[in-house]
Amino acid sequence: MAPNSVDELMDLLHACRGARSRPDHGGGSVDLHDHALRTAALLRRRRPADKELQLAGLVHGLGALLDPNDPAEHGGRAADAVRPLLGERVARLVLLHAAAQRARSEAVSAREASDFASDPLAEDAVTLLQAGDEGRSPGVEGGVLEDWRPVLESVAAAHAGRASGPVRR
């Protein structure tokens, strides 16, 4: 289910409250809602101007909610879900987060490692992965979801403007 509006995306993110990640994803099981808020907050502190990276942190766990039975596809499901609303960069970061996680946790081919390393967003994806790891800790203050609405609205509006092309007068 791809959200068609910021309100629908907010509903999905609220639905993450109480949903748990699988323990095999970088540590023990965590509440997806709290983890999303903590990860996004950490990214806001590290990269205050990069709203798309922050939102990738906020939405990267949606795949676990959308299809809890297929952990191998969580990154792809989350990326596909947010791409129409938040744009290609947010979706690519979510997808690359999953690739960075795989590269760290299991043997990948030299080709996969090379493809990841040469991606222009690889460094940002590693930053997202590190924030996600740190965001698993309950000691990190994540704030409240409603604080992210203006950022979601801004990025969604910017994406909609780019998707519709130049304005003609």
pLDDT in tens, 99-144: 888 777 666 788 888 888 899 999 999 999 999 999 988 889 999 9
Query: Which residues are CB-neighbours of 146 under 8 A, at least 6 positions away?
Result: 10
* Confidence (pLDDT) at 168: 41
Question: 3-class secondary structure for 91-156?
Answer: HHHHHHHHHHHHHHHCCCCHHHHHHHHHCCCHHHHHHHHHHHHHCCCCCCCCCCHHHHHHHHHHHH
* Confidence (pLDDT) at 166: 54
Contact (Cβ atoms closer than 8 angstroms) between residue 33 and residue 14: yes
* Confidence (pLDDT) at 26: 52
* Confidence (pLDDT) at 112: 83
Instruction: Determine the average pLDDT of the residues in 74-98.
Output: 93
Q: Model confidence over 2-20: pLDDT tens digits? A: 899 999 999 999 999 987 7
Q: What percent of the chain has pLDDT over 90?
A: 59
What are the φ and ψ backbone dihedral angles of 20, each rounded to 5 degrees? -110, 145
Straight-line distance from the first to the last Cα atom of the chain, in angstroms, rounded to the nearest whole number: 36
Instruction: Determine the average pLDDT of the residues in 150-162.
Output: 93
Alpha-carbon span 155 to 52, nearest angstrom? 7
* Confidence (pLDDT) at 30: 85
Query: Which tokens sit at 42?
Result: 């950490």
* Confidence (pLDDT) at 165: 57
Q: Which residue would you say has higher pLDDT here, 87 or 21?
A: 87
Q: Which residues pair with 31 in a beta bridge?
A: 20
**How far is it between the farthest Cα atoms of the chain?**
55
Q: Measuring CA to CA, which residue among 134, 122, 149 is closest to residue 39?
A: 134
* Confidence (pLDDT) at 29: 75
- For residue 155, pLDDT over 50 is answered with yes
Q: What angle do CA 119, 135, 115 make, to 5 degrees?
A: 15
Query: Which residues are CB-neighbours of 20 under 8 A, at least 6 positions away?
Result: 29, 30, 31, 32
The predicted model scores a pTM of 0.88
* Confidence (pLDDT) at 169: 34
Q: Which residues pair with 20 in a beta bridge?
A: 31
- For residue 48, pLDDT over 50 is answered with yes
Mean pLDDT, the chain, as a whole number?
Answer: 87
